A and B are shown apart, each in its own frame.
Chain A
């Protein structure tokens, strides 16, 4: 499916946040001039079509005492799918992207404790026989993750 103008308005609105009230869809629907049922039906459709990747609480692992770390690997093309499966099998891998570069696999580890980052990276190195470069964030300049739909 291709999202129409109403779907796009929903995507834009819901990236900014969702109220914690007994009938939150009704509240957002009112703002957008929709009915609650239409809003929910559209979200269901977009979820099925995978236009919506996630809808729910976004956590800050660091605020919970945990950690995030961006990691990169240089994976030989012939082994790429195998290594992707090995990396993705770890629940601590929050997302993983193929990128056009010698370092062609970039993933984020999200763990509940700082120590777990090194441990998981070590396990991935042993499983794959490849080096895992770790780029822990030193400073964050902005996080207003939002894409105009």
Chain B
């Protein structure tokens, strides 16, 4: 699936964020020299195709007091990860959950689950719940706390046509 030059221009124009004005799509359409209705149709179409996951706000966890942010990592039996992964992903405190390749010998973990909390105690409590679900399918685990956001911008498109 791909996007055409017009979709690309729309995406590029929204990457710094939507304008905080009463009619943001009209403002955006003006800036792009487009009709507002046509712009909105394209945004909806891109959302339906899954190119735009959603139009939404991303808060800064730290500013909200979610100061503990742990990337929990698990070495899960390959034969059981397909069954167990969705159970971890369904937990309401897990924001992202992925199976990723190991990088042996340096990195043995194949399941990554991001846990956020107001304190490390809270995160550790949530981590224990994951551990209980994985049971003996988990051979080792660790958690990597973030200490600083070094960059956060989202996907940027190159300024090219087509």
Residues of A within 8 A of B21 (CB): 40
B interface secondary structure, majority: mixed
Which B residues from 111 to 162 make CB contacts under 8 A with A?
A: 112, 116, 142, 144-158
Residues of B within 8 A of A72 (CB): 107
Residues of B within 8 A of A53 (CB): 58-60, 152
A interface secondary structure, majority: mixed
Whether A50 contacts B150 in the complex (CB less than 8 A), given A20-B43, A36-B22, A136-B101, comes out as: no
A123 within 8 A of B: no
Q: Give Cα A53–Cα B153 distance, bound, in whole angstroms.
A: 8
Interface residues of B (CB under 8 A from A): 1-3, 11, 14-18, 20-26, 36, 40, 43-44, 46-47, 49-61, 63-64, 66, 71, 81-82, 85-86, 88-90, 94-101, 103, 106-107, 110, 112, 116, 142, 144-158
Q: A15-B58, A64-B51, A138-B101 are in contact. List 6 more A-B contacts (CB 8 A).
A: A58-B54, A88-B150, A103-B107, A137-B99, A138-B110, A141-B85
